[in-house]
């Protein structure tokens, strides 16, 4: 795949792949309500939250040792009983670094390569199901893939009943807002239902996995946590962390990437006929434009100065990933278009901040792209794959990301792309 400088025309900007006058496909999931109101790199809202919009300011926050994780309900989790050892997503300092070193082996390219036959077999089964039924929701297929892959890594493979994907998503879909200090508009019934779903997930999925690995350790996260003397509550919390981070987000990205590729004939053709490295570059660029998690939160542990703005100790900072990822000062011209191979400054990776940065950068980034690629290439190679109903775009305030639902696709007994 040719490297394309930030200047000039991206060859994939046409919506139909043929008409040079055709408008570019805009971002499909962009949240207008989160965009900067003034164009400033940092704004302070009425609640005193520092809203960070530029790439340089956001990355500076993520790399600063004077901040701590404040997203994904980490501050609420810190108040839970029974957690002597915080989940890796919420921990800081040497505790966090040690946990990341201990679990890094599950996400290395070598380990991911060992998962490849399993992922490929899952993908083939799911596409076979689509072909047999003729039409299915792609978001349901991507959920099954993401849950089964993450389950293998975590060790959630001893469930008493099928349906773990519904139990995971029920927790995320329970309502509420994960922004620290945000008003929780949720009924008592909804809160009770979420607790009941959490109890089911523990009883049917997590506890059986713990029991099986107490009898015989395996090469997975739960076995490692048992070796570290984690208790049941701590293991449940880690499983929820990896469940939402590794299952829910990958599900959405697969749908977003398929939506782009099915609408852009040239980009789809390029994707199907290049090397794996080049396919990954295309997926990284789509992820840059459509980051699944749109907002990351950090709490200042000391007085900070970010991009010339003084941030007092204790302040909450909300980093707008979608704006940071489309900051023209970093990504160049046509920041709101898919242009794989765009030139980026030294040290800036292709997904920009879609996987985060600093010591809390997503450990499963390579696995997420690998499984997405294995599935999408097998799916998109069929000429008669088509969109029946495009997905509706919703936003989940627990994950702080988009949800694509009702993405109906059809596949007949056609021939593959040659």
Does residue 8 register a pLDDT over 50? no
Taking the CA atoms of 167, 169, 172 and 173 in sequence, report the sign of the dihedral they define.
negative
pLDDT of 165 = 87
Phi, psi dihedrals of residue 151, rounded to the nearest 5°: -60, -40
Does residue 5 register a pLDDT over 50? no
pLDDT of 72 = 66
Does residue 75 register a pLDDT over 60? no
Q: Name the percent of the chain lying above pLDDT 90.
A: 64
pLDDT of 86 = 67
| Residue 246 binned pLDDT confidence (cut-offs 50, 70, 90) | confident
- The DSSP bridge pattern shows strands 135-137 and 408-410 to be antiparallel
* Comparison of pLDDT for 185 and 191, the residue scoring more: 191
Does residue 3 register a pLDDT over 70? no
pLDDT of 357 = 94
Task: Find the mean pLDDT for residues 367-374.
Answer: 97
**pLDDT digits 0-9 by tens, 277-291:** 999 999 999 999 999
Task: Find the mean pLDDT for residues 172-195.
Answer: 72
Reading the block at residue 183, the tokens are 């008003």
Q: Count the helix, strand and coil residues of the chain and give each as a percent rounded to the nearest 5.
A: 50, 10, 40
Reading the block at residue 359, the tokens are 């010591």
Q: Half-sphere exposure of residue 104, counting CA atoms within 13 Å on the CB side? A: 10
Task: Find the mean pLDDT for residues 316-325.
Answer: 96
Axis-axis angle for helices 365-380, 265-272 (nearest 10): 110
* Comparison of pLDDT for 347 and 172, the residue scoring more: 347
**pLDDT digits 0-9 by tens, 82-113:** 567 766 666 677 777 788 888 888 888 899 99
**pLDDT digits 0-9 by tens, 35-69:** 888 889 999 999 999 999 999 999 999 999 899 88
pLDDT of 69 = 86
Does residue 200 register a pLDDT over 70? yes
pLDDT of 207 = 97
* Comparison of pLDDT for 195 and 126, the residue scoring more: 126
**pLDDT digits 0-9 by tens, 405-418:** 999 999 975 445 55
pTM for the model stands at 0.91
Which H helix or E strand runs over 408? strand 408-410
Least confident span in 110-119, 198-207, 215-224, 236-245: 236-245
* Comparison of pLDDT for 16 and 82, the residue scoring more: 82
Least confident span in 8-22, 100-114, 267-281, 328-342: 8-22
pLDDT of 17 = 44
* Comparison of pLDDT for 92 and 345, the residue scoring more: 345
What is the full DSSP assignment across 360-398? GS-TTHHHHHHHHHHHHHHHHTBTT-EEEEPPEEEEETT
Reading the block at residue 318, the tokens are 């909300």
CB 178 within 8 A of CB 399: yes
Alpha-carbon distance of 162 to 205, in angstroms, equals: 9
pLDDT of 121 = 97
Reading the block at residue 52, the tokens are 């960070």
pLDDT of 170 = 81
């Amino acid at each position: 795949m040719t490297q394309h400088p930030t200047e000039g025309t991206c060859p994939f900007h046409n919506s139909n792949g043929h008409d040079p006058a055709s408008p570019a496909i805009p971002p499909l999931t962009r949240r207008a309500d989160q965009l900067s109101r003034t164009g400033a790199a940092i704004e302070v809202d009425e609640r005193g939250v520092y809203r960070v919009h530029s790439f340089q300011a956001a990355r500076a926050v993520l790399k600063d040792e004077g901040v701590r994780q404040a997203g994904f309900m980490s501050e609420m989790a810190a108040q839970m009983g029974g957690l002597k050892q915080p989940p890796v997503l919420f921990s800081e300092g040497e505790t966090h670094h040690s946990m990341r070193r201990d679990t890094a082996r599950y996400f290395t390219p070598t380990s991911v390569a060992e998962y490849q036959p399993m992922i490929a077999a899952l993908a083939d089964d799911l596409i076979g199901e689509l072909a047999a039924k003729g039409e299915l929701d792609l978001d349901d297929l991507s959920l099954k893939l993401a849950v089964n892959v993450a389950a293998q890594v975590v060790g959630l493979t001893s469930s008493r009943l099928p349906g773990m994907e519904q139990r995971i998503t029920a927790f995320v879909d329970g309502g509420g807002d994960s922004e620290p200090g945000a008003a929780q508009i949720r009924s008592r019934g909804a809160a009770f239902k979420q607790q009941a779903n959490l109890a089911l997930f523990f009883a049917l999925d997590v506890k059986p996995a713990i029991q099986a690995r107490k009898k015989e350790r395996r090469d997975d996260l739960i076995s490692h946590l048992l070796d570290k003397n984690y208790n049941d509550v701590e293991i449940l919390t880690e499983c929820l962390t990896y469940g939402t981070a590794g299952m829910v987000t990958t599900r959405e990205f697969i749908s977003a990437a398929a939506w782009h590729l099915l609408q852009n004939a040239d980009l789809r053709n390029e994707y199907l006929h290049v090397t794996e490295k080049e396919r990954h570059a295309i997926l990284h660029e789509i992820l840059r434009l459509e980051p699944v998690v749109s907002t990351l939160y950090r709490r200042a542990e000391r007085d900070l100065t970010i991009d010339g703005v003084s941030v007092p100790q204790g302040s909450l900072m909300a980093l707008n990933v979608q704006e940071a990822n489309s900051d023209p000062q970093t990504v160049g011209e046509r920041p709101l278009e898919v242009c794989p191979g765009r030139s980026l400054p030294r040290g800036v990776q292709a997904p920009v901040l879609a996987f985060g940065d600093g010591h809390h950068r997503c450990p499963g980034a390579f696995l997420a792209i690998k499984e997405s690629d294995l599935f999408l290439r097998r799916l998109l190679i069929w000429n008669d794959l088509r969109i029946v109903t495009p997905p509706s775009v919703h936003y989940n305030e627990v994950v702080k990301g988009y949800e694509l639902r009702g993405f109906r696709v059809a596949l007949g007994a056609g021939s593959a792309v040659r």
